Amino acid sequence: MAEVIVHSRFTDFDINLFKSGKHYRLYENFGSHITTLDGVEGVYFAVWAPSAKMVSVIGDFNFWTEGEHKLNVRWDSSGIWEGFIPGAGKGSKYKYKILSGNNDIATEKADPYARRAEHNPNTASIVWDDNYKWKDAKWMKKRKNNNALDAPFSVYEVHLGSWKKKIEENRFMSYVEMADELVQYVKDMNFTHVELMPVMEYPYDPSWGYQVTGYFAPTSRFGYPEEFKLLVDKFHQNDIGIILDWVPSHFPEDAHGLGFFDGSALYEHPDKRKGYHQDWKSLIFNYGRNEVKSFLISNAIFWLDQYHADGFRVDAVASMLFLDYSREDGEWEPNMFGGRENLEAMSFLREMNEAVYSAFPDVQTIAEESTAFPMVSKPVSIGGLGFGMKWMMGWMHDTLQYFSKESVYRKYHQNDLSFSMTYAFTENFMLPLSHDEVVYGKSSMLGKMPGDEWQRFANLRLLYSYMFTHPGTNLLFQGAEFGQSSEWNFKTSLDWHLLQYEPHKGVQQLIKDLNTLYAKEPALYQKQFDVEGFEWIDHGDAENSVFTYIRKGNEEKDDVIIACNMTPVPKENYKIGVPRKGKLKEIFNSDLKKYFGTGQYKNKINKTKADAWHFRDDSVDIDIPPLGMVAFRYVK
């Protein structure tokens, strides 16, 4: 039998932190690490398997022979098995063969901390390290300003497997190819950030990455780990932040994954009522187990530390917070106070956010949380969950419902659109039009719009214009920015050929210009989470289906006045009250010819008059185009 040399990267302090759930950089200890010991080159392996009675490393360096390289168990009740194997090295494929003390159950597992995984359908881990030299120092130095809550934050959500494919070669684009094409496109579109649907290794393409098996490995579908670093680096060099989708809510039951890892419920909660997702047929992490908390928080820190990520969008937070999530009576057990909240998950999320913001105060965590759970984006110190932002799912639902109605009926649903302002400042909200809204028969964004072709495109432009001027940050899923006609299909490339047609090209130009407007006008971002940053002029003109409002920055001179006409009937000489006298200049019009609009309803310099209206001393007459938005600001 080959020798496994006793060696450890753990100190007693590491072990104490791990056991108490406070070790946030476990990736420096666990997993496989290329090491030279007494002049001999090899690999140090460490894995947590407390129910095991034997753990051996099987790999291509020992012809996958079980028991050839048995790891040594630590005698400190940590459940860690470790050892140094001479001869293994970078590129070695391996798994852990675990014989459990629980009924002699045998499992064969990928390394939970592996830095690289085999390309699916193969499932082995790969010993890896890289010496990538980052070139994003300029971004990292100033990103605190770019990622701040009072900065423009416009996000382009991307599924790397379907954004653009090499059709002629029937393959994905690589990280390296995307570092050119995708980065340049996001820059040309003037988005400030990109959000990548999960890039952590996953076995099943139809899961879109949300069923993770390799939490510390960028998926090998698109290339090597250092090539993913290159993609991040290129985004940063072009002043674009990168948000990663992160899934601490559940994981799949695949044989090589985390489930039943050492013949026991190790990472998952042992009680099926807390440990199994019926909707997704997946397992739920045991948030009350200290070692699992350390694993997950270390994973969050890993992507910020090793891959320079600018934050996370945390998936399915609602499913974590509620014990009765998608469960019938009798299928869940109340918490110790008789409530439905998952106290252990709440505690974990608070610890995770505190750890992230303590180590990286210049990033953001964003919760995809679909309920009215309070204080999601409030500091932990005052009882909040500590996220930087929360997706505004209520706004998304009400807005899409409103815009899907024929314009003739909209006057009966004026409140559907104005309602969001009753709770818009209870959280730091991001407005999402995400991948979830364009799949499973929900139609594309364009497909949701009513009317003939011209009206559908005008409605879409109006929806986006309203979105970008509503308080909060923005997120738009790939394809929506040029009015993709069909639903998103993860198997195929976006319909880029549509850009040869004027209506689609017009929507794309509109998004470019809306991103420019958002970043240029302080009133649209400085107080985007502050009640002082918004004021209605009038939301009560249901008969005309018109909404008028003011967005405010830190200085009065930066005020932006916005008018939205939700009908195809132009509103000429439409009178609105204004905050003060002066001259108003049109700075945006969604009906311009370059957007495939009519181009007929432009406002030049509009002078206010001392004619009281909307409870204000001064007013102005403006033209609002059909199914259009116009924005103004005061000029000297």
Tokens of 130: 């890289």
Active-site residue, selected from the candidate residues 291, 315, 513, 591: 315
Task: Say whether 104 is catalytic.
Answer: no
Dist CA 40 CA 19 (whole Å): 32
Tokens of 424: 């818009």
Task: Say whether 268 is catalytic.
Answer: no
- 155 close to 193: Cβ distance less than 8 angstroms: yes
DSSP-assigned states of every residue in 252-266: ---TTSSTTTTSS-S
> Who contacts 561 (Cβ-Cβ below 8 Å, separation ≥6)?
537, 548, 549, 550, 576, 578, 584, 631, 632, 633
Cα–Cα distance list, 420 to 397, 417, 465 (Å): 10, 7, 16
Dist CA 339 CA 162 (whole Å): 42
Widest CA span of the chain, in angstroms? 95
Helix-then-strand count for the chain, H and E: 13, 31
Active-site residue, selected from the candidate residues 195, 368, 521, 559: 368
- For the chain, percent helix, then strand, then coil, each to nearest 5? 30, 25, 45
Count CA atoms closer than 13 A to 624's CA, side-chain side: 26
Strand 276-277 and strand 241-246: the pairing is unpaired
H or E element at residue 417:
helix 414-418
| Three-state secondary-structure class, residue 28 | helix
Tokens of 406: 């024929």
121 cis-preceded (ω within 30 degrees of 0): yes
Angle at alpha carbon of residue 49, lines to 47 and 54, rounded to 5°: 95
DSSP-assigned states of every residue in 108-157: EE--TT-SEEPPTT---EE----------HHHHHHHHHHTSTTS--EEEE
| Three-state secondary-structure class, residue 341 | strand
- 116 close to 222: Cβ distance less than 8 angstroms: no
Dist CA 496 CA 163 (whole Å): 9
What is the 8-class DSSP label of residue 270? S
Closest to 69 in 3D by CA, of 162, 116, 4: 4
Where do we find the tokens 């009908």? 567
> Who contacts 295 (Cβ-Cβ below 8 Å, separation ≥6)?
26, 112, 215, 267
Point out the residues that are catalytic.
Answer: 315, 368
